[in-house]
Amino acid sequence: MKSYINYIALLLTIATASCKKDNYDPPTSKLTGRVVYKGEAIGTEYDQVRFELYQDGFGKTGPIGATFAPDGSYSMLLFNGNYKFIIPNGQGPFKWKQTAAGAPDTMLITMQGNQQLDIDVTPYYMIRNPQMNKSGGNISGTFKIEKIISDASARDVESVSLYINKTTFVSGANNVAVKTVNGNDITDPNNVNLSVAVPTLTPAQGYVYARIGLKIAGMEDRIFSPVVKIDL
């Protein structure tokens, strides 16, 4: 018994003695913002649209990677210093500026304390004025599709979908019901109507979350409208 106490005392001493400060302070500067087009946030799918920060001068170069939140926001906790920001090729339902060689161009960010920084991109389309309502056992969504890029690099609308889910994660992978209409079947892009029946929810709940996703031909990530909570 006594030897136990000795051991415990010894361990405690070691543990206390090792309670020194780490070599480095943790990062404290917060970089926050949204991915925007003319000040309006672009909705994305959860954990799908990646961006990368690079910081040179510390040995190996590797990205500090993260993804945009469904509402288009992002936040990172960083050390003060200079960073390079890119959105890799093929990510997001929008165009990010590229160099002449086709590599994603960098945006320089200098961190000196907290910083709010919106990332400007050019989306192929915007979902304008989405209205989502309950009608009977259905959720209906009405919106306007606005074409933003109409030059040679313009892309068609492959399809639009109305998703509903029990949680705020609403997308092709996370939904309880979905209604999809192909781009060719859209007669009036200024007034698109989608309606989907709410299935029986288990466990029952008195609300659903809904959002509209627009698939652009040849692009993987959809552009989304904001998530809306609808009481049933």
Give me the residues that bind another protein (CB under 8 A), please. Answer: 48, 50, 60-63, 88-91, 101-102, 172-175, 178, 218-220
**Do 184 and 194 contact (CB within 8 A), yes or no?**
no
Q: Extract the tokens encoding 108.
A: 């320089």
Instruction: Please state the closest distance from residue 102 (CB atom) to another protein, in A.
Output: 6
Closest CB 142 distance from another protein, rounded Å = 23
Q: Shortest approach of another protein to residue 4 CB, angstroms?
A: 37
Minimum separation from the CB atom of position 173 to another protein (A): 4
Would you tell me how many other CB atoms lie within 10 Å of the CB of residue 34? 19
Q: Which is nearer to another protein, 34 or 222 (CB)?
A: 222
Residue 67 Cβ vs another protein, minimum distance, rounded to whole Å:
12
- Determine contact, residues 155/198, Cβ cutoff 8 Å: no
User: Tokens at residue 159, please?
Assistant: 């399809």
What DSSP element (H or E) covers 177?
A: strand 177-182
Of 99 and 135, which has the nearer Cβ to another protein? 99
Q: Which is nearer to another protein, 40 or 220 (CB)?
A: 220
Six-digit token string for 161: 């979908």
Work out how close the CB of 77 gets to another protein at its nearest, in angstroms, rounded to a whole number.
20
Of 1, 46, 64, whose CA–CA distance to 163 is shortest? 46
Residue 50 or 134: the one with the smaller Cβ distance to another protein is 50
CB-based burial label for 100 (10 Å; 0-12, 13-18, 19+): exposed
Judged by beta carbon, residue 34 or residue 52, the one nearer another protein is 52
d(CA 125, CA 155): 9
* Closest to another protein by CB, 62 or 137: 62
Report, in Å, the least distance between residue 162 CB and another protein.
14
In sign, the C-alpha dihedral spanning 120, 227, 66, 82 is positive
Pairing of strands 94-95, 81-86: unpaired
Q: 118, 119, 28, 116: which is closest to 80 by C-alpha?
A: 28
Give the nearer residue to another protein in terms of CB position, either 32 or 169.
169
